[in-house]
Amino acid sequence: MTEQDELRKVRLENLQTLIEDGVAPHPDRFERTHTLAEAAELPEGTAGVRVAGRLKFKRDFGKLTFARLEDLHGGIQISLTRDGLHPEQEQSRALYKRFAKKVDLWDFVGVEGEIYRTNKGELTIQVGAWTFLGKCLQPPPGKFHGSRDTEANWRKRYVDLVSNEETRARFRLRTQVVRALRSFLDAERFDEVETPILCTQASGALARPFLSHHNAMDMQVVMRIAPETYLKRLVVGGYDRVYEFARCFRNEGMDPSHLQDFTMLEFYAAYWNYEDNMRFTERMIRHVVKEATGSHVVKRGDREIDFGQPWPRVTLREVIQTHAGIDIDAFGDAASLRTEIVSRKIELENPDAGRGGLIDQLYKRTARPKLIQPTFLIRHPIDLSPLARRSDDDAHTSDRFQLVVDSWEVVNAYSELVDPIDQRRRLEEQAQLRGAGDHEAMELDDDYLLAMEHGMPPISGWGMGIDRFVALIADAPNLRDVVWFPLLKPRTGPDGEAEESEEESPPPASS
């Protein structure tokens, strides 16, 4: 029998003793007057306080026991005395002994009592009565230290949340970010909507989809790679400003800043162009960072990222020329650009990509790692932006921008292409690339083109990966650190242990 099994056996025995003493092992409810965080703000002398939480610490001094209750949002110290739990001394001592000896760390407990301060000044509840609320049968990872096994924390997020305050803080931050984004958009007259996850074809991004089969309709479906074309259909239908927190799925590579299933926020605003959207983005993101963290400056490793300073605007051509020494405008087709890249010994993930894909890979390999402070990257080549509006002053570039922070692409946005004739021409070009072997090229979407032909106003659209943005401002090294239950390979070794660590493949050029 392992040590884990021995510790579990002791907890089962404690549970059985509680049951034999007449304690209900699974009570149906407990009436609280305050959460733990609320109780921690109460003044001394407040009586009749009823709180509940997990027992995270316990120390018995014979006639006095100190303990701590915690939940996701806070905690408070409690104290129990041997003769302070019941008017009858014998009954009080039995209740005290039961708590001290049979209630284990991580058990759920409810208490009632009065707020006071100890001699050391710590706010504490003097317990007059306690109630058993739930037994933890598995021993915690450590009495005083939480789990530091990263992969175990991903697999057992519930243990990670209970044992590690930094994890609880990250997920509180994620909730605050989403709440701040939603309230900002609502205040700006955006309508929140929902669009399909199961689709007949992938559209709205350059990415490979997950495939599935719809049994009732006997047809193949894909899981959406982006909500874009459906949100724009709603603009056709009369919506002025729409947004969606959309779960998206891309059957591509993984690395610390890419996951195959992720949460994206997309919005579309009628009558805006991409410059309106850049101004809005700077205002909104700056507000959200301050609202969620309390500051415009966030720590990222040994660097400080300042969202409060003005964000420079640079063209994709400029940053590639600066960091790779290649003027992409001098190479008008994929073959000549590929030859130039190879001559400079720059490695490509997908050397067979079209010109747009090659430019994207070149940028990500050479320039993006150098962009640390918030920077707007603008004027992407048109063959890299099949859904973006063509610039009026340069037919080879699009009215598009990306927000790059600490080498991570945080936002992608543009003036939308609303001309159905131009859109069909570009999607047909993408279809030809796809037929030639570029699996990341976009499919022809006749249903979306039909929607466009019913008339579209000027539109600017915007997309941001929520997981990536939260990881960025939370200083988390991996997106899985800010996803409650990330997908992992099942454990296959003896006793359910993983035979080897998760391997991560690099992201595709189009991610």
Domain boundaries, the chain: 3-140, 167-312+373-465
Q: Which CATH class, in words, describes the domain spanning 3-140?
A: mainly beta
Question: CB-hemisphere CA count at 13 Å for 414?
Answer: 26
Q: What is the pLDDT of residue 204?
A: 84
**Rg (alpha carbons) of the chain, rounded to whole number:** 29
Q: Give 10-residue mean pLDDT values along the chain (511 residues).
A: 91 96 95 97 97 96 96 96 95 96 96 96 97 95 69 94 95 98 98 96 86 95 95 97 97 89 97 97 98 96 94 95 93 92 91 88 94 95 82 91 95 94 88 77 87 96 97 96 95 55 46 39
Q: Are 403 and 410 in contact (CB under 8 A)?
A: yes
- Report, at the CATH architecture level, how domain 167-312+373-465 is classified: 2-Layer Sandwich (3.30)
The SS3 assignment for 368 reads helix
Q: What is the pLDDT of residue 509?
A: 39
Distance CA 362, CA 320 (A): 7
Distance CA 147, CA 167 (A): 11
pTM for the model:
0.89
Q: What is the pLDDT of residue 443?
A: 79
Distance CA 474, CA 482 (A): 9
Q: Are 349 and 280 in contact (CB under 8 A)?
A: no
Q: Are 195 and 264 in contact (CB under 8 A)?
A: no
Distance CA 147, CA 164 (A): 7
Q: What are phi and psi of 390, to 5 degrees?
A: -70, 135
Give helix 165-187 / helix 466-473 axis angle, nearest 10°.
Answer: 120
Q: What is the pLDDT of residue 427?
A: 86
Alpha-carbon dihedral angle through residues 272, 275, 277, 280, given to the nearest 10 degrees: -120
Number of H helices, E strands in the chain: 14, 18
Q: Which amino acid is at 454?
A: H
Q: What is the pLDDT of residue 503?
A: 47
Q: What is the pLDDT of residue 418?
A: 93
Q: What is the pLDDT of residue 211?
A: 95
Q: What is the pLDDT of residue 493?
A: 57
